[in-house]
Amino acid sequence: MVEVVLGTALAAIGAGVAVGMAGLGSGIGQGIAAAGSVGAVAEDEDMFARGLIFTALPETQAIYGFLIAILILVFSGIMGAGAGLSTTAGLVAIGAGAAVGFAGLGSGMGQGITASSAAGAVVEDSDMFARGIIFTALSETQAIYGFLIAILLLVFGGIL
């Protein structure tokens, strides 16, 4: 019984790390992107919609963390039916949360920096919009790697 309680408590930590760290990266990234977009809109009012797009791109890291956190919470028994997790499975949940959380932290900040620069480039040359989106999306790959590793850990760690 104690092992199940500990495993479930560790899973709660994993869920918190997943959403907390990924959300932090997204928030910082969106702030950086919004700062660049505001400057672009000040130079050209027509940049508002494109600036919003650049500002929204770093949000995906928070979504990845949120999804992993929900999976951990549901399949650990914290939300919904479930018997709880062993200590080993709880440690796997922390690993999954850390994988998506830390990957999202770095990726979100990097994506925000790129999005900010892209918004400035589009003000100078409107043909840079699609290329700016592509450059901004490249920073997303690290978050996708973390998300995939988190899923693999949950599946092969016996949680999903």
101: tokens are 């959380």
Query: pTM score, two decimals?
Result: 0.90
pLDDT in tens, 23-70: 999 999 999 999 999 999 999 999 999 999 999 999 999 999 999 999
Answer whether residue 5 shows pLDDT above 90: no
Could you tell me the residue ranges of all domains in the chain?
Answer: 2-156
Neighbours of 155 (CB within 10 A): 12
Question: Which residue type sits at 110?
Answer: G
What per-residue confidence (pLDDT) applies to 12? 94
Neighbours of 45 (CB within 10 A): 8
pLDDT in tens, 81-115: 666 788 999 999 999 999 999 999 999 999 999 99
CB 102 within 8 A of CB 24: no
CB 132 within 8 A of CB 54: yes
CB 61 within 8 A of CB 143: yes
Phi-psi domain of 79 (left: phi exceeds 0; alpha: psi -120 through 50; beta: other): beta
Tell the residue number behind the tokens 């910082």, with chain if given.
28
With CA atoms as reference, report the closest residue to 34 among 51, 59, 49, 22.
51
Mean pLDDT of 132-147: 95
Question: Which residue type sits at 93?
Answer: A
What per-residue confidence (pLDDT) applies to 85? 85
Q: What is the CATH number of domain 2-156?
A: 1.20.120.610
